[in-house]
Amino acid sequence: MTAQTTRRYAFSFITGALFVPETVAVSELLAAGKNWTVIRSAVLEDNLLRIKTSGSRLRILREIRYRLQEFDHAELDFFCAAGPRDQRLMLLLSACRRFAFIREFVEEVVRAKALALDTHLTPGDFVRFFDLKGAEAPEVDALTEKSRDKVRQVLIRMLAEGGLLNSTSEMGIQRPSPSSGLITLVSKKTPSELKVFLLSDAEIRHNRF
């Protein structure tokens, strides 16, 4: 079995963070019935994403498409109609679905600290997480310091944009406030995914939101 087939973690998310306005723009075209060929044309020819180079436009569109494809029809409809807070949380959830590294960091580090009333993310948290995962996965162990720094920077931005951190500089952990509609939507499909919103096991089990 090759190294490629045994990879557990992917890191293409370092292209950027949650791409909130860009994803909203793309989702509006999807909701209007446009296919990906039309959307690709809007991105390249009309610069829908407001990005300078065509290469960057395609790279970011590709990542947005992968993340939107993590949603089922009901979730996509909800996302298109949701307010900014729920949209950000849904984009964080889609990133967690797509990237095990992000999901595990949120659940094993951020959520664990929040439930223990530890309100700050520290550089040491990242070091320990990288070391832990590096011992299990060669692709993590092979990351250079520069790559680790990039992964850490993008993770912090994602968490701040998603509402799990108060800012990228202070890195204060805060529990977000998803709407009851979003909680119901996620809990009907996969209740355990509510961990991404930093809910406790008891809250998930008993629906105490």
Do residues 93 and 11 lie in contact, with contact meaning Cβ atoms separated by under 8 Å?
no
* Residues 121 and 177 both lie in one domain: yes
We report the CATH number of the domain holding residue 142 as: 1.10.3540.10
Same domain, yes or no, for 123 and 148? yes
Number of domains making up the chain: 2
Can you give the pLDDT at residue 6? 63
What does the pLDDT read at residue 110? 98
Instruction: Provide the 8-state DSSP code for 70.
Output: T
94 touches 71 (CB < 8 A): yes
Q: Is residue 77 part of a domain?
A: no
Give dist(CA 36, CA 26) in Å, integer.
9
Which of 69, 104, 132 terminates a domain? The answer is: 69
Give the tens place of pLDDT for each residue, 141-199. 999 999 999 999 999 999 999 999 999 999 999 999 999 999 999 999 899 999 999 99
In a domain, 75, yes or no: no
Domain that holds residue 39: 18-69
Strand partners, 165: 173
Checking if the pLDDT of 1 tops 50, the result is: no
**What pTM value is reported for the model?**
0.91
**Mean pLDDT of the chain, nearest integer:** 91
Find tokens 């299990």 and name the residue.
136
Residue 173 phi, psi dihedral angles, 5° rounding: -80, 130
Are 110 and 199 contained in the same domain?
yes
